[in-house]
């Protein structure tokens, strides 16, 4: 009872009026802006490399597929989006007829959807159906649209690992050879959050893709501190957060994935907790509280981004009454679940690769050991979610399959 009373005292009701007068935020949106307020920190080498590779476009030459990869939150999309603007500006000065297009592959997970998205950007006045077209129809329309020999098209495919894992590498194979089929000059930049993206590309495609690979390594603790300090100067009022707290947040995220977005999410979470507790400063104790809150939310966010068959596989794991499940049982349960959804199941090999992915994402733990229910040594799949998060996860999965 005493603990509950203390919590109620610390966390007070807030109003819109109190939020406007809050002593914390100055410009909160700076924390989430793709474009940093004073330029990109610790990405000069990557920017220089990309400029060198993209410069031939301004001289009328197409560039081979440029692969950009690195963990989420390492500045890939933000830097490339910024460079696209610079490139468009230079192209206009030099009378180069350049059109840049951007497709997020987490939302367009097969070649047909990607081509339709590109067509919609190339010809915004024309309405293209989101469903109903065959791949052959989309390819035909795309090639026809690129018949203008004076056009230079730069295609950005972001988060391409979604397509490669779910639908294969057909779109990359087509882009690697498309300059042989159309009059326009086509250049492309492929962005992946999976550093092992080459594992999902067939040898025939790898042999035709460009050899340029630009790596965005995870940010170190010191680099994250620099980024946080720069954003905090604009996002918060003077004196709200000190260097020691910013360094602590940088150290926490550097030990995980070196993700600048996650570091800024934690800083923002600290600020919101401070406001709810009527504090005027972000202190160390709030960092610990924010870390626990974000860990729960991030798990649910990861689950929502899984592919359909990954969701089915994870759902059967969560639905199992035991906390520890035998690896050998999971594929059988997956087959039964696919049947209940009237879906054709993937191979056992693909299902095993999903389990490896779940382990890397922190959704499960996997180890070989003695399992009492099996009376033998086997691979054990362990889910360490509290019941509230587990129930929310099951609902998200069921609603989205």
Cα gap 161→182, rounded to integer Å: 26
pLDDT in tens, 190-236: 999 987 777 888 888 888 776 789 999 999 999 999 999 999 999 99
Cα gap 154→54, rounded to integer Å: 10
CA neighbor of 282 nearest in space, from 40, 74, 31: 31
Neighbours of 2 (CB within 10 A): 6
From residue 99, alpha-carbon distances to 82, 154, 169, 243, 244 in Å are 15, 6, 24, 43, 46
Residue 327 buriedness (CB in 10 A; 0-12 / 13-18 / 19+)? middle
Return all residues near 398 (Cβ < 8 A) that are at least 6 apart.
315
Cα gap 220→258, rounded to integer Å: 6
Cα gap 250→253, rounded to integer Å: 5
Task: Supply the pLDDT for residue 371.
Answer: 60
List the chain pLDDT tens, one digit each, 401 residues: 344 433 434 556 777 776 677 789 999 999 999 889 988 999 999 999 999 999 999 999 999 889 999 999 999 999 999 999 999 999 999 999 999 999 999 889 899 999 999 999 999 989 888 788 999 999 999 999 988 767 899 999 999 998 988 888 999 998 888 888 888 899 999 999 987 777 888 888 888 776 789 999 999 999 999 999 999 999 999 999 999 999 999 999 999 889 999 999 999 999 999 998 889 999 999 999 998 888 778 888 899 889 999 999 999 999 988 888 888 889 999 999 999 999 999 999 899 889 988 988 889 988 776 666 666 667 788 888 888 788 889 999 999 98
* Strand pairing category for 213-216 and 98-104: unpaired
Question: HEC string of the chain?
Answer: CHHHHHHHHHCCCCCHHHHHCCCCECCHHHHCCCCCCCCCCCCHHHHHHHHHHHHHHHHCCCCCCEEEEECCCCCHHHHHHHHHHHHHHHHHHCCCCEEEEEEECCCCCCHHHHHHHHHHHHCCCCCCCCCCCCHHHHHHHHHHHCCCCCCEEEEEEECCHHHHHHCCCHHHHHHHHHHHCCCCEEEEEEEECCCCHHHHCCHHHHCCCCCCEEEECCCCHHHHHHHHHHHHHHHECCCCECHHHHHHHHHHHHCCCCCHHHHHHHHHHHHHHHHHCCCCCECHHHHHHHHHHHHHHHHHHHHHCCCHHHHHHHHHHHHCCCCEEEHHHHHHHHHHHHHHCCCCCCCHHHHHHHHHHHHHHCCCEEEEEEECCCCEEEEEEECCCCHHHHHHHHHHHHHHC
CA neighbor of 27 nearest in space, from 236, 339, 251, 171: 236
Tokens matching residue 380 = 């054990």
Task: Supply the pLDDT for residue 102.
Answer: 97
Cα gap 271→277, rounded to integer Å: 10
CA neighbor of 299 nearest in space, from 178, 225, 166, 394: 394
Cα gap 35→27, rounded to integer Å: 14
Phi, psi of 40 (to 5 degrees): -80, 125
Phi, psi of 104 (to 5 degrees): -90, 115
Task: Supply the pLDDT for residue 4.
Answer: 41
Check: CB of residue 62 under 8 Å from CB of residue 247: no
**Which residue segments constitute the domains of the chain, with CATH numbers given?**
2-27+219-301 (1.10.8.60), 44-216 (3.40.50.300), 306-400 (1.10.10.10)
From residue 306, alpha-carbon distances to 129, 155, 313, 382 in Å are 25, 25, 10, 19
């Amino acid at each position: 009872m005493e603990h509950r009373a203390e919590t109620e005292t610390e966390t007070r009701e807030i109003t819109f009026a109190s939020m406007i007068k809050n002593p914390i935020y100055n410009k909160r949106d700076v924390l989430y802006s793709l474009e940093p307020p004073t330029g990109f920190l610790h990405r000069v080498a990557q920017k220089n490399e990309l400029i060198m590779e993209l410069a031939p476009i301004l001289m009328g030459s197409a560039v081979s597929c440029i692969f950009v990869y690195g963990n989420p939150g390492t500045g890939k999309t933000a830097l490339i989006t910024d460079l696209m603007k610079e490139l468009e500006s230079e192209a206009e000065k030099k009378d180069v007829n350049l059109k840049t297009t951007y497709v997020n592959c987490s939302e367009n997970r097969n070649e047909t959807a990607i081509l339709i998205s590109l067509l919609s950007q190339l010809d915004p006045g024309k309405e293209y159906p989101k469903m109903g077209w065959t791949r052959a129809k989309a390819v035909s329309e795309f090639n026809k649209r690129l018949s203008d020999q004076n056009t230079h098209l730069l295609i950005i495919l972001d988060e391409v690992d979604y397509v490669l894992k779910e639908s294969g590498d057909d779109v990359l194979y087509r882009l690697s050879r498309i300059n042989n089929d159309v009059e326009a000059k086509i250049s492309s930049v492929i962005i992946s959050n999976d550093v092992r993206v080459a594992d999902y590309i067939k040898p025939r495609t790898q042999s035709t893709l460009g050899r340029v690979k630009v790596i965005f390594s995870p940010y170190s603790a010191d680099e994250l501190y620099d980024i946080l300090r720069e954003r905090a100067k604009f996002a918060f009022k003077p004196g709200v957060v000190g260097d020691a707290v910013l360094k602590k947040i940088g150290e926490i995220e550097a030990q995980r994935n070196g993700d600048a977005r996650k570091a800024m999410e934690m800083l923002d979470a600290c600020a919101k907790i401070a406001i709810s507790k009527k504090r005027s400063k972000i202190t160390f104790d709030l960092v610990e509280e924010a870390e626990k809150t974000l860990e729960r939310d991030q798990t649910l966010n990861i689950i929502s981004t899984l592919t359909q068959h990954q969701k089915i596989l994870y759902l059967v794991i969560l639905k199992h009454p035991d906390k520890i499940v035998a690896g050998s049982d999971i594929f059988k349960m997956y087959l039964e679940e696919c049947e209940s959804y009237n879906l054709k199941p993937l191979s056992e090999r693909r299902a095993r690769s999903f389990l490896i992915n779940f382990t890397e994402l922190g959704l499960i733990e996997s180890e070989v050991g003695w399992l009492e229910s099996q009376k033998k040594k086997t691979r054990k799949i362990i889910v360490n979610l509290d019941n509230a998060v587990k129930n929310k996860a099951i609902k998200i999965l069921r609603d989205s399959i």
